[in-house]
Structure 1
């Protein structure tokens, strides 16, 4: 059984390139994916010697040439949000940061957007900081309801996350308005049903 797990894990790592970095232009890792949950269970059962064996098998080929799609509109959306500014404000915590610490975050997951939603540049994106707000929003720990940042129930809450959320919960989101409201509502409902 252990040998089979080792072989399946190795094949998965080679085919799926689990060890690639995620950046603003690539959809983030989906912790709720059945495939990823299964692989995480397999990987967590491996002993150090098994991990060493897998790494030795791929040691001469650790870098993977991958062809992936790029979000052609991402640069335009980022330019729209930040213009020529060097400093910007996070739409969640309201703190100012150099723009290289802010991401162009989709309110409704881009992968779930119709074409007309993807090009609704005034309402579909907002700046979020890399100091927690983007991840908390993306993974459904927080949302925005009626223009206010709210905490969401989540199966993986910890006291540390609760402390961070307590510092942003109740803040007003300046990107919520009557035309962006539908995207925030989608975000809230999507994570409400997926975080149980």
Structure 2
């Protein structure tokens, strides 16, 4: 599965990597047989499905192999960071943080850095600086609130728009024509952006907001 996913990724357009030669830097594996290799890593980024139980189960396995001081970050789109570290060691929690990249990460500059209330400040400072200095990102420090900043605004905007679309009986092409560059937004507008993000991810983030913000609009 990992091999096929990598092959498909390298064929995608626009390309997710700067040059084909960098493809050789990618090593694939699986969580059953290759997890011990993370003992040699300094920074691990989790990008599994938006499901809290699955993420927590993965972190439990990761802790069995990670070395002390290794950074562990989650690319979650909206799950509160504090909810992910139940049962983890003090060293794990101190070195755990949210790093929310936006898709496609090669082209979108925003990187949200979301510490928990137990993340070491030195880790936060490092991620803020490294993201900007070496990854070329616009790093933004976020509070650990559901969906953070961009998705908190974006998912609400998209959900509200969908209700309006039904009411006005608009087509997909009409919506994207009116909600793209004409509003100062990307060409992908609304529905194409949803496809890039992934409809499954969008639904999970929206449901997460509804669950974690019962009194919110």
TM-score interval w.r.t. the shorter chain? Answer: under 0.3
- When the two structures are superposed, what TM-score results if normalisation uses the length of structure 1? 0.26
- When the two structures are superposed, what TM-score results if normalisation uses the length of structure 2? 0.24
Which protein is bigger by CA-based radius of gyration?
1
The one of the two structures with greater contact order (alpha-carbon pairs below 8 A, sep at least 6) is 1
